[in-house]
Amino acid sequence: MYAEALNTYQVIVKNKMFSHAGRLKVNMANIYLKQRNYSKAIKFYRMALDQIPGAHKEMRIKIMQNIGVTFVKTGQYADAINSFEHIMSESPNLKAGFNLILCYFALGDQDKMKKAFQKLIAAPLGIDDEDKYISPGDDPHTNLLIEAIKNDSLHQMERERKALAEKYIMTAAKLIAPVIETSFDIGYDWCVEAVKTSQYVELANDLEINKAITFLKQKNFTQAVETLKMFEKKDSRVKSAAATNLSFLYLLEKDYTQADVYADLAVTSDRYNPSALTNKGNSLFLNGDYERAAEYYKEALRNDSSCTESLYNLGLTYKKLNRLENALDCFHKLHAILRNSAQVVSQIADLYEMLDDPNQAIEWLLQLRNIVPTDSHALAKLGELYDTQGDKSEAFHYYCESYRYFPSNIEVIEWLGAYYIDKKFCEKAVKYFERAALIQ
């Protein structure tokens, strides 16, 4: 329908009596942009810009934004920069600032990237101070009013705008940090210092934590730990986040003593942090204190019912405590959240087998097979369960499938060898036993 729309717009804008031709030319440019006819899109945006009076500043800025984005799509970064720089000088906003950084990054201009980042963090957020949501006294009428506006649509919009701003700044910092200085470390420090002197001073700590996570992605464990340890004397929220990450890192390194120390610090700093509580539970679990581990997992779930890590680990803990029905309940709840999780389905199947319900175990293993068709262990388990039920043909089928995907499982090879002996196919049995001897 784009062609018909363009024809209709053309007829209207040719009418000299029509006073809003500029607005319609914006619509025409938008259509050309969707059709990827970028040259015509730019032409019509510029025509619209000429026809829209300067009094309509907001609309002109939006047109300039579209012109810049269109130039980016054609790879004309220098022209795009002109548009975004004009916006940042006339009416700075987060989107234009972020796009400006991307353009300078594409051109590899280090100094301009820094200046664009400073312009981004200086762009006005356009929201009021959060203090207006704090009660100034004990006046019940005022308190009731504040409670009413704490989660109204305006406050939600303000939170969304602030979250978007933080996302732009975090992404920009991660993008330019490795290229604006001689190393990622120095570049990231520059971004952090710039943010500390801006209206987003609270974001500096999050950037530091993100720096540690980036070190982890670079497999630089030592630098990640050093960065996180800097937060031990910060405020409780940041300290808890850093200690949570440190605890998890030490768990991965199998340094359970240090993991426990930082898990305690994380929980003490913020008792409502579900990740901190989960890590403390993990530390206790690995030390064999399953009862206390379960309590921490349950507390994490009380603080955040969607914390799947705690729910999964609670199921494992109940399994260790031989409270199989409780464990099954945990994994069924998880399955409702994570429908295609092979680990969850595998745990449910295993629990049904432990509860002496082979039919249910088989049913869940068949579901697991649909999720992971090549899981040789699940296929072998299906073969074993069918064998215990006396269904040799199904058992043979699944053992063969398991052997096909993993031909080095001694138990599977021995079962297949014994099956062929039972069926009087000795030559085939010999082949399997020879393979078993070779592996052993």
> Domain residue spans in the chain?
1-91
Token digits for 37? Answer: 């006819």
The span from the first CA to the last CA of the chain, in angstroms, equals: 70
pLDDT recorded at residue 142: 62
pLDDT recorded at residue 138: 64
Q: Is the pTM of this model over 0.85?
A: no
How far is it, in rounded angstroms, from Cα 299 to Cα 303? 6
Which whole-number Å values give the CA distances from 365 to 372, 386, 402, in the listed order?
Answer: 10, 12, 13
pLDDT recorded at residue 424: 73
Q: Give 262-285 pLDDT, tens digit per residue.
A: 889 889 888 889 999 999 999 999
- The tens place of each residue's pLDDT in the chain, 440 residues long, gives 778 888 887 788 777 767 677 788 888 888 989 999 999 999 989 988 888 887 888 889 999 999 999 999 999 999 999 999 999 999 899 999 999 999 999 999 999 999 999 999 998 887 665 555 555 556 666 666 666 666 667 777 878 888 898 899 999 999 999 899 988 889 988 998 999 888 888 788 888 888 888 887 878 878 888 878 877 766 667 778 888 888 888 888 888 898 898 889 889 888 889 999 999 999 999 999 999 999 999 999 999 999 999 999 999 999 999 999 999 999 999 999 999 999 999 999 999 999 999 999 999 999 999 999 999 999 999 999 999 999 999 999 999 999 899 988 889 888 988 888 887 777 777 776 777 677 76
Q: 241-247 long-range CB contacts below 8 Å, 24 or more apart?
A: 241/209, 241/266, 241/273, 242/209, 242/212, 243/269, 243/276, 244/273, 244/275, 244/276, 244/279, 245/209, 245/212, 245/213, 247/276, 247/279, 247/280, 247/283
pLDDT recorded at residue 134: 58
CATH number of 1-91: 1.25.40.10
pLDDT recorded at residue 135: 56
Q: Give 313-338 pLDDT, tens digit per residue.
A: 999 999 999 999 999 999 999 999 99
pLDDT recorded at residue 137: 59
Contact 397, 382 (CB under 8 A): no
Q: What are phi and psi of 261, to 5 degrees?
A: -60, -50
How far is it, in rounded angstroms, from Cα 157 to Cα 201? 21
What does the radius of gyration of the chain's CA atoms come to, in whole angstroms? 31
